[in-house]
Amino acid sequence: MADLAALNRRFGLSGHVAFREIPGGLTVMEVTNAHGTATIALQGGHVMHWQPKSEVAPVLWLSRAASFAPGKSIRGGVPVCWPWFGPHAANPKLPAHGFARTVPWEVRATRVLDDNATEITLALVETAQTRAMWPHQAKLSISITVGARLRIVLGTENSGKEDIVMGEALHAYFQIGDIADIRIGGLEGCDYLDKVDGGNERRRQHGPVIFSAETDRIYLNTQAECVITDPRLQRRIHVAKSGSRSTVVWNPWTAKADRMGDFGPDGWRGMVCVESANAAENAVTIRHGSRHELVVEYWTEQYAA
């Protein structure tokens, strides 16, 4: 359990950042400023909630049945998948999507920017357990700016003497009116790997992405901005990125959501994942001594159907 008084003394910013413990035992940072609100769990450097002042509904989806227990992944927000995406290539006993999202991170800095946005920096705490899973000298940090937009910079520093190859994603869950009503633009003409039922078929996207069943696709070699058009909530959500060549689109639909057990009743209808990643053939090589950044920016605009 973190020392909340010490955290608030050292990194609290009155009117901007306060630390508290939530039921289940996780320590979170509550961010409030002129632009909106956000909640960030120290575990996983995990943005759980973000709602600009202009929005009546949060932009990020968080399951009503999410668990907030130490060591357990949180269903919703923006989980950090690192240093691999999906199942581990060689060892199925290792956690899917890597270990970053389920281990403690520590706060490195908090500050208010000129435009009254709040910037928070956290770093993953390496341990013997993390090194046993991934024996490389790499430092992982995340910088989150809560302003008119939500900006996240996931930085990997290769402090070792060898190049490293890794996978990663900012596995963002977005809140939508209903999955059957939305469409996602920006991926037209892209090749993707269709992962439904554990498949790996390579297909091509024609037109916007629409949903009528479980959808689990890794779009390859794309740096495009995606736009989620939501007629029910009358908004568009923009997902812009750099340092990422894959975009993953996922909705589990009813059967898989039920099997996963932490979506809550019909929770899957109100979410879609648009994940900015480096996955599959887009795994990234970081030269020894250099740094790689995966950057996303999310923002909304009103949309009248």
Give me the residues that bind ligand TA6 (CB under 6 A), please: 73, 86, 96-97, 171, 195, 216, 248, 250, 260, 273, 275
What are the beta bridge partners of residue 295? Answer: 153, 242
Cα–Cα distances (Å) from 110 to 58, 121, 142, 187, 224, in that order, read 23, 6, 12, 35, 30
Active-site residue, selected from the candidate residues 275, 288, 292, 293 = 275
Q: Toward ligand TA6, which CB reaches closer, 7 or 47?
A: 47
Active-site residue, selected from the candidate residues 171, 225, 238, 288 = 171
The encoded tokens of residue 173 equal: 């869950």
Spatial separation of the C-alpha atoms in residues 137 and 158, rounded to whole Å: 6
Q: Which residues of 198-231 are buried (b: 16+ CB within 10 A; e: fewer)?
A: eeeeeeebeebbebeebbbbbbbebebebbbbbb
The encoded tokens of residue 135 equal: 């024996």
Annotated catalytic residue 171: yes
Q: Toward ligand TA6, which CB reaches closer, 27 or 247?
A: 247
Cα–Cα distances (Å) from 87 to 72, 166, 194, in that order, read 16, 13, 15
Annotated catalytic residue 292: no
Q: How far is the CB of 100 from ligand TA6 (least distance, A)?
A: 12
Catalytic positions, written as ranges: 171, 275
